[in-house]
Amino acid sequence: MSFGKRQYERVDFAKGLNVHIVGMDGTWRRACVMIDISQTGARLMVEGSLQGLNLKEFFLLLTSTGLVYRRCRMVRLSGDQIGIEFIRGDKPVSKRFAVKPALGEPAR
């Protein structure tokens, strides 16, 4: 399956990498296999149905503990595979992870 020309080089996983996608509100979760990844997105093979899920914005959990994750959105669907784009925000997802300016340094 071809997903078109890419701006960034992709890394393919020979056997795939087990990951999960989770709804922003935590009400749904699906097991996936990551087929490839780049700086801006990835291709996933989803286990289970996507019907009724909000894929405009969700989390991609890269570790079983959920400590490594990315905010994403689906950009294409082909059978059981989806193309996702990583969402980069100007603001941290949580205040807990915000970088505070040093004394005398202007706030961002």
Domain of residue 39, CATH code? 2.40.10.220
Per-residue pLDDT tens digits for 2-53 = 455 657 788 888 899 999 999 999 999 999 999 999 999 999 999 999 998 9
Contact between 15 and 36 under an 8 Å Cβ cutoff? The reply is no
Task: Report residue 56 as tokens.
Answer: 């405009």
Residue 95 domain-assigned (yes or no): no
Say how many domains are in the chain: 1
For residue 98, pLDDT over 60 is answered with no
Host domain of residue 81: 7-50+73-88
Rounding to the nearest 10 degrees, give the CA dihedral for residues 89, 64, 22, 15: 90
Residue 81 domain-assigned (yes or no): yes
Residue 44 domain-assigned (yes or no): yes
Looking up tokens 């996702």, which residue turns up? 84
Residue 20 domain-assigned (yes or no): yes
At residue 11, the 3 state secondary structure works out as: strand
Q: Is the pTM of this model over 0.85?
A: no
Sign of CA dihedral 68, 101, 24, 49: negative
